[in-house]
């Protein structure tokens, strides 16, 4: 049983809800382990075609747990490689969606950015306020925010620690879509259900291609994409998807 998260299944979609409301879902070590363990287990389950991570109406997560970190020494942080496990989420192959309402600050913003894309409620507030605490982002924020927003906005956000509202986050490319807060979860399920109705291995390969765009040159990335594209002609789902189009019916993907 989990202490810091709730798990729910609806068809092929799994929902992980961060559940430390008393601390605005501050990300402590227990929560890191439970979120990462849950995501990895769901990733191994072929009956799961998409995973949503969400928080509460007030906070997706208000950052790493400051009370847990405050007294640590350099060697404590280094020896435990504090926060390292969060990077395992970047290796989850099943599509991973962050559904963000309220505060997504510090580690909360970084957790949202570790997902494949962010759906934001109109109440969402993003920020990297670590400088106010005498530290810098530590779960990839300086790297992922810069890639998402470009240098000027990422620098300004990180150096000032200001928050960005949902509208600015959408304009800046940090979030895929803004949704009225009371519809966030239903819309996230609808989006996840659409993704999960498609071929899971094809979705995994599509993720690899998009992620390659942030790791490699254009020429290498296009080459990688074309090779993976060719490989899909060895799948039953390519045959089914194209046959269904020609026969004017819905495809029945078997994830093979
Ligand atoms: C531990 C936290 C917390 C956090 C909130 N709480 N954020 N506890 N770590 N990151 C706790 C508060 O102590 C309080 O508990 C309860 O949650 C409610 O919070 P309030 O502050 O009373 O609520 P409110 O006045 O509405 O303000 C909301 C807030 C504020 C603006 C989000 O809580 C805030 O600024 N939080 C910290 C945000 C932040 O700095 N995040 C970055 C963390 S560093 P009690 O028991 O007092 O009622 C980080 C770094 C990652 O993420 C890697 C690099 C180090």
**183-206 per-position pLDDT tens digit:** 999 999 999 999 999 999 999 999
- From ligand 1's centre to the CA of 70, what distance in Å? 12
Q: Which residue out of 107, 108, 138, 140 is catalytically annotated?
A: 107
> CB-based burial of residue 222 (10 Å sphere; 0-12 exposed, 13-18 middle, 19+ buried)?
middle
Whether 161 and 128 have beta carbons less than 8 Å apart is answered as yes
**pLDDT tens by residue, 210-220:** 999 999 999 99
Task: Examine the domain organization and report whether 46 and 157 are in the same domain.
Answer: yes
Show the tokens assigned to 68.
Answer: 């847990």
Q: What is the pLDDT of residue 2?
A: 80
Q: Which regions of the chain are under pLDDT 50?
A: none
Give dist(CA 112, CA 118) in Å, integer.
6
Does residue 102 line the site of ligand 1, with CB under 6 A?
Answer: no
Q: What is the pLDDT of residue 155?
A: 98
- Helices 141-149 and 151-160: crossing angle in degrees, nearest 10, is 140
Structural domain includes residue 176: yes
Give dist(CA 106, CA 60) in Å, integer.
11
Range of the domain at 62: 5-196
> % helix / strand / coil in the chain, to the nearest 5?
50, 15, 30
Q: Residue 60 to residues 5, 89, 210, 222: CA-CA distances in angstroms? A: 12, 17, 25, 35
Task: Examine the domain organization and report whether 242 and 191 are in the same domain.
Answer: no
Task: Examine the domain organization and report whether 141 and 216 are in the same domain.
Answer: no
Q: What is the pLDDT of residue 145?
A: 98
Task: Examine the domain organization and report whether 203 and 192 are in the same domain.
Answer: no
- From ligand 1's centre to the CA of 36, what distance in Å? 22
Q: pTM to 2 decimals?
A: 0.97
Task: Give SS3 for 237.
Answer: helix
End residue of a domain, out of 173, 196, 219: 196
Active-site residue flag, 152: no
Active-site residue flag, 64: yes
Task: Examine the domain organization and report whether 210 and 132 are in the same domain.
Answer: no
* Nearest one of 197, 210, 208 to 237, comparing CA atoms: 197
Task: Examine the domain organization and report whether 151 and 216 are in the same domain.
Answer: no
Q: Whose CA is nearest to atom 12 of ligand 1?
A: 23
Whether 25 and 108 have beta carbons less than 8 Å apart is answered as yes
Give dist(CA 219, CA 212) in Å, integer.
11
What 8-state DSSP symbol labels residue 198?
S
Atom index in ligand 1 nearest the CA of residue 105 equals: 41
Whether 230 and 214 have beta carbons less than 8 Å apart is answered as no
Does residue 67 line the site of ligand 1, with CB under 6 A?
Answer: yes
Does residue 103 line the site of ligand 1, with CB under 6 A?
Answer: yes
Q: What is the CATH number of the domain that holds 87?
A: 3.90.226.10
Task: Examine the domain organization and report whether 216 and 138 are in the same domain.
Answer: no
Task: Examine the domain organization and report whether 128 and 237 are in the same domain.
Answer: no
Active-site residue flag, 130: yes
> What is the count of structural domains for the chain?
2
């Amino acid at each position: 049983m989990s202490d810091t998260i709730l798990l729910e299944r609806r068809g092929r979609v799994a929902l992980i809800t961060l559940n430390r409301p008393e601390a605005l879902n501050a990300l402590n070590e227990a929560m890191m382990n439970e979120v990462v363990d849950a995501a990895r287990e769901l990733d191994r389950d072929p009956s799961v075609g998409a995973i949503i991570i969400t928080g509460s109406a007030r906070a997706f997560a208000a950052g790493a747990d400051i009370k847990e970190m405050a007294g640590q020494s350099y060697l404590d942080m280094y020896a435990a490689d504090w926060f390292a496990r969060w990077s395992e989420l970047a290796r989850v192959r099943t599509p991973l969606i962050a559904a963000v309402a309220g505060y997504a600050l510090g580690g909360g913003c970084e957790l949202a950015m570790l997902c494949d894309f962010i759906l934001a409620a109109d109440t969402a507030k993003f920020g990297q306020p670590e400088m106010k605490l005498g530290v810098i982002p530590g779960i990839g924020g300086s790297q992922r925010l810069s890639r998402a927003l470009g240098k000027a906005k990422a620098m300004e956000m990180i150096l000032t620690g200001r928050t960005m509202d949902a509208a600015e986050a959408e304009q800046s490319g940090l979030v895929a879509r803004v949704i009225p807060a009371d519809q966030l979860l239903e819309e996230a399920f609808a989006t996840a259900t659409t993704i999960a109705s498609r071929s899971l291995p094809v979705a995994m390969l599509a993720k690899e291609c998009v992620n390659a765009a942030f790791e490699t040159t254009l020429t290498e990335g296009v080459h990688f994409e074309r090779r993976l594209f060719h490989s899909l002609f060895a799948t039953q789902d390519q045959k089914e998807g194209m046959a269904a189009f020609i026969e004017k019916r819905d495809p029945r993907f078997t994830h093979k």
